[in-house]
Amino acid sequence: MKTIHKLLVANRGEIARRIFRTCRDLGIRTVAVASDADVDLPYVAEADEAVRIGPPAPSSSYLSADAVIDAAKRSGADAIHPGYGFLSENAAFAQRVTDEGLIWVGPPPCAITGMGDKAESRRTAQAHGVPVVPGYDGDDESDDTFVREAVRIGYPVLVKASAGGGGRGMRRVDDPADLLDAVASARREAISSFANGRLLLERYVLRPRHIEVQVFADTFGNIIHLGERECSVQRRHQKVLEEAPSPAVDSALRAQLGEAAVRVARAVAYVGAGTVEFVMSQEGEFFFLEMNTRLQVEHPVTELVTGLDLVAMQIAVAEGRPLPLSQDEVRLRGHAIEARVNAEDPNRDWMPGHGPLVRFELPFGGGVRVDSGYESGDVVGIHYDAMLAKVIAYGPDRLIANRRLRMALDASWAPGVVTNLPLLRDIVRDESWIDGDLDTGFLPRRSLPRVPPANLERGALIAAVWAAAQRADVSKDLSTPAAWRVWGSDEVVDRWAQGEAEVEVGVRDCRGLWEVRVGADSARRVRITDRVGDVMRVEIDGLFSTVRVARAAGDGAVEDGDILYVHLGDGESMVRLVPRFPAPAGLESEPGSCVAPTPGVVRVVHVAEGDQVAKGQLLVTLEAMKMEHHLRAPVDGVVSAVRCAAGAAVDGGALLVKIEEG
């Protein structure tokens, strides 16, 4: 039997921290690897040792087998855990790890190869009596073949990358006229994410549920399953919320799914943790999709309902020990739900967010677990996946688990970077979600995402009182009153803005009891009962609540132009103090300008100077955070300038294409 003394995690962020946590429990020393962009993130400091492995681009750091192996040798690590993503499903890397004499905490290379190619895995599942979705997985990937096979399969079809996972390189096609564009786009994304552009076609099952089964195998031939996870709430074929068990699976269906998953794992002599994914119709008919030969992002929900540490089990199996339990000993207790907190704007085509996290506060305890890759003050870059953290709630049943998750999401706060927190809050309150009426088209079916409320007036009221209290602190020992103005009034009147909307707020200090007038409303009586750091306990007209306020520019008194982020307890607001004497307005963007909404890399320029374009026509394909974003013409007209080229890195706000209207 082998023994691991020092383990290197060939990954970053929350999964690295998650693995380190188990290693500390097991008494195993840890090594982190970090690109130049990540050296100051929390996971690096939490490891016993860390190695800088290259520039921010994944191809030069986390996807570089040479860099990772070199880091293991330099640090003296005797084992490598790949986490998920990056090199986790790279059979050549797994083989090289073992060839270098290191312990690979993952399945054998042959199993990765057998299941890593989706076309090959479909054939394997079929050969072992597991049903698959009708499709095409042949070697001929010419346009003519795809067009012909799509007609045979029947629309809608799903174009899928043969390698990798995580929703990358997947496109649903409803109209035959869109097929070849979808093929080209999926292939580009697959090459960028997995360095493999092979594709396959599958029939798109209408209103499907996405169900996956966690399997585990050891080197003694023992294979078990740990129940299923429901992963149907998705955006762009990527999961948003996951739960265990599924509200649509009873014990009989669970046994069928588990038996099919074990059969697939046994077919490739699987070892370690793996996930067999199925698509299931509303009638309960299921089809094999793929097998992920690694730990899944959503593994915590399985841990909570089984009481098992899956990372500890991975390490034990890698050391040559048998599984700690048999199938008959697996028990599912209670319910767990996981929400992925992503740096993205659901209302702007899931555009990734980036920049410094002014605050990053995710409550835990009381049945809530948080796996996070970031903390307050960390900078979210543009090079990697948009996920910041996972909030996981557990309860004796689904209702209580969902209530706990709802409370945790309400209290969560991430000012400074746009996130999907408002969407997550809407989902866990949605009637269909509460009823368990789910499918992979849940979000559009339920008209989600919705634009969150601005809360301008509530945010301005709290911000104004906060600013007035700050001013009072500054003037405590001075003879000049805090609210003094040259026109003689003891009322401070400010304008607070959110976008183009503004509200005027007047604040009067009445010996610790503030009178606040918002717009034309009558004055409201506000008392600050406690204020520590950015947390303020206030009484407003007899109602007590706790609010949090963060200043984008840092500490100190609020100044003209400052942005304040306000967490209201049951909502959020962002307000800006309008300057009393604003500077002259700058030139606005000219009509017809197509600018980069975020930093990224230009993948395709679809137009040239002189082209006639229609409003909505595709102009540029931009890649950011490993996802493609399609930028379209804002007006009808003629392309008068193209300021970008394929392969070029561009900053957010950069002019890419100029259109002359008309």
pLDDT of residue 168: 80
Q: Is the pLDDT of residue 13 over 90?
A: yes
pLDDT of residue 473: 72
Cα separation, 236 vs 366, in Å, equals 32
pLDDT of residue 478: 38
| For residues 289-293, average pLDDT | 94
Averaged pLDDT score across all residues of the chain:
91
Contacts of 157 (CB under 8 A, 6+ apart): 135, 150, 172, 173, 179, 201, 202, 203, 204
What proportion of the chain, given as a percentage, has pLDDT over 70? 95
pLDDT tens string 472-519 = 776 554 334 444 443 334 788 999 999 889 999 999 988 778 999 998
**Which residues in the chain are classed under CATH 2.40.50.100?**
593-661
Cα separation, 129 vs 111, in Å, equals 18
Q: Is the pLDDT of residue 101 over 60?
A: yes
| For residues 8-16, average pLDDT | 98
pLDDT tens string 261-277 = 999 999 999 999 999 99
Kind and range of the H or E run holding 641: strand 637-642
| For residues 353-367, average pLDDT | 94
pLDDT class of 7 with cuts at 50, 70, 90 = very high
342 neighbors 366 (Cβ within 8 angstroms): no
Cα separation, 66 vs 174, in Å, equals 42
Q: Is the pLDDT of residue 30 over 90?
A: yes
pLDDT of residue 500: 85
Which residues are paired to 546 by β-bridges?
537
Q: Could you tell me which CATH number the domain at 209-445 has?
A: 3.30.470.20
Q: Is the pLDDT of residue 540 over 80?
A: yes
| For residues 348-366, average pLDDT | 93
pLDDT of residue 481: 43
Cα separation, 31 vs 75, in Å, equals 7
pLDDT of residue 187: 92
Q: What is the secondary structure of 28-51 as a DSSP string?
A: -EEEEEEETTTTTSHHHHHSSEEE
Q: Which two tokens stand for residue 243?
A: 């739960």
pLDDT of residue 471: 80
Please give the backbone phi and psi of residue 641, each rounded to the nearest 5 degrees, phi first.
-160, 140
Q: Is the pLDDT of residue 92 over 80?
A: yes
Contacts of 527 (CB under 8 A, 6+ apart): 512, 513, 514, 538, 539
Cα separation, 642 vs 640, in Å, equals 7
Q: Which two tokens stand for residue 315?
A: 């390490």
| For residues 383-398, average pLDDT | 96
How many CA atoms, within 13 angstroms, populate the side-chain half-sphere of residue 371?
A: 24
Specify the 3-state DSSP secondary structure of 114.
Answer: helix
pLDDT tens string 176-203 = 999 999 999 999 988 877 778 899 998 8
pLDDT of residue 582: 58
| For residues 451-474, average pLDDT | 89
pLDDT of residue 477: 45
623 neighbors 192 (Cβ within 8 angstroms): yes
Q: Is the pLDDT of residue 140 over 50?
A: yes
pLDDT of residue 518: 94
Q: Is the pLDDT of residue 23 over 80?
A: yes
pLDDT of residue 296: 97
- What kind of architecture, by CATH, is found in domain 134-203? 2-Layer Sandwich (3.30)
Residue from 502, 403, 513 nearest 468 by CA:
513
**Which of 79 and 651 is assigned the larger pLDDT?**
79
pLDDT tens string 576-613 = 999 876 544 433 456 788 888 878 888 899 999 989 99
| Out of 57-71, 229-243, 562-576, 611-625, least confident range | 611-625
Q: Choose the most confident range, by mean pLDDT, from 236-240, 439-443, 465-469.
A: 439-443
Specify the 3-state DSSP secondary structure of 365.
Answer: coil
Checking DSSP bridges between strand 6-9 and strand 79-81, what pairing results, if any?
Answer: parallel
- Third-level CATH fold of 593-661: OB fold (Dihydrolipoamide Acetyltransferase, E2P) (2.40.50)
Residue with tokens 């004055």: 523
pLDDT of residue 395: 98
12 neighbors 20 (Cβ within 8 angstroms): no
Q: Could you tell me which CATH number the domain at 6-105 has?
A: 3.40.50.20
**Which of 7 and 139 is assigned the larger pLDDT?**
7
| For residues 65-83, average pLDDT | 98
Checking DSSP bridges between strand 572-577 and strand 593-595, what pairing results, if any?
Answer: unpaired
pLDDT of residue 521: 84
- Third-level CATH fold of 456-577: Glycoprotein, Type 4 Pilin (3.30.700)
Q: Is the pLDDT of residue 89 over 70?
A: yes
Q: Which two tokens stand for residue 229?
A: 């996870």
| SS3 assignment for 552-589 | CCCCCCCCCCCEEEEECCCCEEEEEECCCCCCCCCCCC
Q: What is the secondary structure of 172-211 as a DSSP string?
A: EE-SGGGHHHHHHHHHHHHHHHHS---EEEEE--SS-EEE
**Which residues in the chain are classed under CATH 3.30.1490.20?**
134-203
pLDDT of residue 316: 98
| For residues 341-365, average pLDDT | 94
Residue with tokens 């191809």: 59
| For residues 304-318, average pLDDT | 98
Residue from 277, 254, 278, 258 nearest 266 by CA:
258
What angle (nearest 5°) sits at the alpha carbon of residue 483, between those of residues 481 and 485? 95
pLDDT of residue 587: 35
The DSSP code for 396 is S
Q: Is the pLDDT of residue 656 over 80?
A: yes
| Out of 54-58, 210-214, 482-486, 559-563, least confident range | 482-486
| β-sheet with 103-104: strand ranges across | 49-54, 29-35, 6-9, 79-81, 103-104
**Which residues in the chain are classed under CATH 3.30.470.20?**
209-445
Handedness of CA 255, 221, 112, 201 (dihedral sign): negative
